[in-house]
Chains A and B, each alone.
Chain A
Amino acid sequence: MNINATLLGQALWFALFIWLTMKYVWPPIQKAMQDRQKQIADGLAAGEKGRQELEAAAEKVTLELQKAKEQANDILAQADKRAGEIVEEAKSSAKNEGDRIVAAAKAEIEQEVNRAKEQLRAQVAALAVSGAEKILKKEIDTKAHAEILRSLESELG
């Protein structure tokens, strides 16, 4: 149990091991641990950021969806309105067209009637002349009696 030179040897061992730890063990391990700490902190921060972004995106999506729905409703309403208008327009133009056709037909009918009347008048005049000729047994000078014929014609009209 005596103190001897072993003490110095042990002090040297001790100093050597302290030096090894100080130089080659502690700094790399400390660096690795600090780096990992930083990585973890960064990762957590990134995760938090991602979560916030996701939340914001979800909010935006809801907003956009709402907007789109409103737009769709607007478009639907507009389309409804437009369809009604188109139907109205079609109705009125059809009615106009019908009226126009009816009017044209009426005018034609009137024309036909007039023409028939005209023919009839001419034929009646001719008939009357020939009747008168037969009555008078004598040819009427159409040129001389044109005046009379014309007044007859107008009487028949």
Chain B
Amino acid sequence: MASTGAQTSGEYIAHHLQNLHVGHGFWSVHLDTLIVSGVLGLLSFGLMMVVARKAQSGIPSGVQNFVEMVVSIVDEQVRDTFHAKSALVTPLAITIFVWVFLMNAMDLIPVDFLPETAKVAGVEYLKVVPTTDLNLTFGMSFTVFLMMLAFNFKYKGVGGFLKEALTVPFGKYLFPVNLLFRIIEDIAKPISLALRLFGNMYAGEMVFILLAVLMGVSYWWIPAGAVLSLGWALFHILIITLQAFVFMMLTVVYMSMAAEHH
């Protein structure tokens, strides 16, 4: 903010909330979201692949130890919640936790650092936290939704799934109500997943932006703003971890509900 004194506060905030996009209408894409999330994913999962390839059952190296720790925490949660047999659910949960955590962690980089660097490189807009983009959160929850449907069919069969949708919870005579309830319930799941993550991260990012605005008001505000930013960043470490965990946990719960008979 301080370096862009010509902007008003409103312009500053709007600028921060603008994605780097190409194209028009629905067929436009947010390059910053795609690239940041993709790079984070490729780096983290690439690293995990390298570690996994060299994984040994003897005394694990430092990196392997760390990866195993993360993986086994997730696996423990999955085994507590998801009781059917599936080769997909644990990897899915690991992917969600690691990826969402790293994308959320982009929030901890000072708000102006990457956008201003990008501006020097000629990139006008850059929104560095991919999870503050609804497209990302809905992209993930939509994928989870599809897997939920697939699990329903796989573990209950078409007939079992239909029977459950029509007869639970009020019995067969109220099947229209049951079906309506089921549709609302299942659609609410991906929407709540996506909006929860988006809302938390968007709000967190907003607080950082507003603190940056505060520091831009006058030099007198810089110490207070710095202290508040630091405090919020420390608190945010908790939030980003928690949100990654919640997204993962709810996904596992939904998959478990899809796989088990009610």
Interface residues of A (CB under 8 A from B): 1, 3-11, 13-18, 20-22, 24-33, 35-36, 39
Q: A14-B143, A25-B48 are in contact. List 5 more A-B contacts (CB 8 A).
A: A3-B135, A5-B27, A11-B143, A18-B143, A29-B67
Tell me, yes or no, whether B58 is within 8 Å of chain A by CB. Answer: yes
**B69 CB to nearest A CB, Å:** 10
Other-chain residue from B57, B130, B134, B143 in contact with A32 (beta carbon distance below 8 A): B57
- Contact A17:B45 (CB < 8 A) given known A9-B34, A29-B71: yes
Q: How large is the interface on B (under 10, 10 to 19, 20 to 34, 35 or more residues)?
A: 35 or more
Interface SS of chain A: helix
Interface residues of B (CB under 8 A from A): 17, 19, 21, 23, 25-30, 33-34, 37-38, 41, 45, 48-49, 51-53, 55-58, 60, 64, 67-68, 71-72, 75, 87-88, 90-92, 94-95, 99, 130, 133-136, 138-140, 142-143
What residues of chain A lie closer than 8 Å to B134, measured between beta carbons? 1, 3
Interface SS of chain B: helix
**A31 CB to nearest B CB, Å:** 8
What residues of chain A lie closer than 8 Å to B87, measured between beta carbons? 22
What residues of chain A lie closer than 8 Å to B25, measured between beta carbons? 4
Complex alpha-carbon distance, A15 and B147, angstroms: 11
**B252 CB to nearest A CB, Å:** 13
Asked if residues B95 and A14 are in contact (CB atoms below 8 Å), the reply is yes
28 pairs from A and B in contact (CB 8 Å cutoff): A1-B134, A3-B26, A4-B27, A4-B29, A6-B133, A7-B136, A11-B140, A11-B142, A14-B95, A14-B139, A14-B143, A15-B143, A16-B41, A17-B95, A21-B92, A22-B92, A25-B48, A26-B52, A26-B90, A28-B52, A29-B55, A31-B55, A31-B57, A32-B56, A32-B57, A32-B68, A36-B60, A39-B58
What residues of chain B lie closer than 8 Å to A14, measured between beta carbons? 95, 99, 139-140, 143
Complex alpha-carbon distance, A8 and B26, angstroms: 11
**B143 CB to nearest A CB, Å:** 5
Complex alpha-carbon distance, A24 and B91, angstroms: 10
- Contact A29:B28 (CB < 8 A) given known A10-B139, A14-B143: no
